Structure 1
């Protein structure tokens, strides 16, 4: 029987959300690596770098890492995850959690500073990557980080 959180929500939901988040995010990386262009202009220098061999390599590598993160998130909630060394799972999961939260927060803070004119843009534009970082990518990274934090915390509590 699954152990619910204090509000009746099963403690595994965050792990499944984190896994789905990572898989969706990996799909975007693979889409761009295959040459897709929708949304690439929302990423700093995305349009300029699309098609560059080293950028495509980075997209493939980050896509694979994101899939690995999806598996890690599942390890936090699936019974087979208990077969893995607890310390390794916790160190890796907390590391991913912190990385995602810090990266998302950085995007939001940097974007907010840009939006308020405290940081200048290299070239004025109606809708810049700063907007996308502030209102899409920052919150998206932060959402994944929060899901990972909750999933990791729940795993840590359950696996003692």
Structure 2
């Protein structure tokens, strides 16, 4: 039997998880919109407008059947994601457990296939691919705090939230440390580019660019990583247990 203090603590944890979940969803949606916008810029002007300055693409505007196919795949993936969310929201209670698991499996397979496709094709796809992954992140964050999320295995949602959060934190810390070593002359920029998977011909950063990039992108990635990790921790118990 729970004490009054225990009930209050549980209620506080639930409210905290709810707000963190919405914050993680907002973070994901904003980043997704930004990447889709950059995808449109890449296909029309060939110049990406980012907070640290304009980035011209070496080959100019991204055109061709590959670009069109990438957009078609992206729209298709988002339609599948939206359809699954609507299915859980409207029919989740009426679905058998096997149907719920089947729908979840469709989502996981779709996301995995898209990641494999993005790594295989590379190029333009990776301008919009993070946007798709962020949309999945938004769905995961909502599933952890919304009633329809109980139709998806809890452990799976928590695992994905932890993985996403940890990857973003490590990504920023790893990249920031390597850039710091390069900017101070402890390693060459070519070595830094190789270690992060960037083209070795990419221009070196100035001190001002290094500071600006880490203040903007570093803070943004760390914020996203922390939000998802905190959400996974607060939402570790199911909605029914709270």
TM-score interval, smaller chain: 0.7 to 0.9
The number of residues matched between the two structures is 156
In the alignment, structure 1 residue 154 sits paired with structure 2 residue 238: no
2:219 maps to 1:142: no
The alignment's TM-score, normalised by the length of structure 1, stands at 0.79
4+ long deviations beyond 6 Å: none
- Matched residue, 2:48: 37
- Structure 2's unaligned 5+ residue stretches are 1-7, 42-46, 68-121, 191-202
Deviation, 1:127, is 5.9
Match of 1:12 in 2: 18
Per the TM alignment, residue 18 of structure 1 is displaced from its structure 2 partner at its CA by 0.9
8 Å CA contact 1:42, 1:129 repeated in 2: no
Give the CA deviation at 1:128.
6.8
Write the deviation string for residues 70-93 of structure 1: whole angstroms up to 9, x where unpaired.
111111111111121112112211
Counterpart residue number, 2:144? 76
Using the TM superposition, give the Cα deviation of residue 126 of structure 1 relative to its aligned residue in structure 2, in angstroms: 4.1
Q: Distance in 1 between matches of 2:204 and 2:127?
A: 27
- Taking a change above 3 Å as real, the CA distance of residues 39 and 95 of structure 1, as seen in their structure-2 partners, is same
1:1-160 superposed matches below 5 A: 3-5=11-13, 10-35=16-41, 37-39=48-50, 46-49=55-58, 51-52=61-62, 53=67, 55-121=123-189, 123=203, 126=206, 130-159=210-239
Distance 2:125 2:205 in 1: 29
* In structure 2, C-alpha distance between the alignment counterparts of 1:67 and 1:148, rounded to whole Å: 14
Structure 1 unmatched ranges of 5 or more: none
Change (3 A) 1:126 1:89: closer
Does the CA contact (< 8 Å) of 1:114 and 1:121 recur in 2? yes
TM norm structure 2: 0.55
- 2:183 touches 2:206 (CA, 8 Å); kept in 1? no
Q: Which has the higher helix share?
A: 2
RMSD over aligned Cα atoms: 3.0
